[in-house]
Amino acid sequence: MHALQAAILSFCEWCNASFFGTGIRDSVWLFPFVEIFHLLALAILGGAVIILNLRLVGIGFRNDPPSALHRDLRPWMVGSLIVMLVSGFLLFSTEAVKMYGNWAFQLKMLFLLLAAVFTFTLHGRVTSRDDSPAGARWAVAVVSTILWLGVGLGGRAIGYVTTAATAATP
């Protein structure tokens, strides 16, 4: 086993045994309570990304320059991403070791890394300028949609992979 994998696994074990990992796991209502924040932040982050992408391809919000929408929505995107990361980490910590071996979770984290980096680099650069060429606008809107959809679908798959793995265990 590589040193990095060992480090990640021991981090997962630490999360599992931490006070928040055990506290949320042992409580009946804390897990769904944290999920509510995860879903509300999903709505705002996803809504903001969709507004920007609709504007980039010229399907919606055409009266506003992309730079104005970008300026207005960015604080909400940053805020909701932080809420998603914190609530997501808390949910993860209840089953961290299981998540370590869950391919859907691994895929989600890969997409999340790509989506977050893309959103705050290329996507942000194209959206914050009103003179970006149409080709660039279409390209970043499509890539952003695919990456965030990957995060969402990966997230949905986590539960079903866990259930399948549990069912397969004798």
Partner 1 sequence: MSFDHFLHWLYDTPFSATMRESVWAEPLFETIHVLTLTVFLGFVLLLDLRMLDLAMRRKRISAMFEHMNPWLFGGFAVMIVTGLLLFSADPVAFYSTIFFKLKMIMLVLAGVNVLVFNKTLGRRMGEWDAAAATPVGVKVTGLLSLVLWVSIVAAGRGIAYALPPP
Q: Which stretch binds partner 1 (CB under 8 A): 37-45, 90-98, 102-110, 122-130?
A: 37-45
Exposed, middle or buried: residue 66 (CB in 10 Å: 0-12, 13-18, 19+)? buried
Nearest CB to partner 1, comparing residues 91 and 140: 91
- Under the binding rule (CB under 8 A), the answer on residue 51 touching partner 1 is yes
- Under the binding rule (CB under 8 A), the answer on residue 165 touching partner 1 is no
Of residues 153, 138, 150, the one with CA closest to residue 52? 138
Q: Which residue has the tokens 């769904």?
A: 32
Which helix or strand (DSSP H or E) is residue 74 part of? helix 66-94
- Under the binding rule (CB under 8 A), the answer on residue 39 touching partner 1 is yes
Residue 166: CB minimum distance to partner 1, A: 12
Q: 76 with 42: CB under 8 angstroms?
A: no
Q: Which residue has the tokens 């730079």?
A: 67
Q: Which stretch binds partner 1 (CB under 8 A): 6-14, 62-70, 113-121, 134-142?
A: 62-70
Q: 161 with 126: CB under 8 angstroms?
A: no
Collapsing DSSP to helix, strand or coil, 32 comes out as helix
- Under the binding rule (CB under 8 A), the answer on residue 139 touching partner 1 is no
- Under the binding rule (CB under 8 A), the answer on residue 68 touching partner 1 is yes
- Under the binding rule (CB under 8 A), the answer on residue 153 touching partner 1 is yes
Q: Compute the distance between CA of residue 108 and CA of residue 110 in angstroms, rounded to an integer.
A: 5
Site for partner 1 in 69-108 (CB under 8 A): 72-73, 76
Residue 101: CB minimum distance to partner 1, A: 20
Q: In this structure, what is the dihedral angle of CA atoms 166, 25, 79, 148, given to the nearest 10 degrees?
A: 0
Nearest CB to partner 1, comparing residues 30 and 109: 30
Residue 113 identity: L
Binding site residues, partner 1, CB under 8 A = 28-29, 32, 35-36, 39-40, 42-51, 54, 60-61, 63-64, 68, 72-73, 76, 149, 152-153, 156, 160
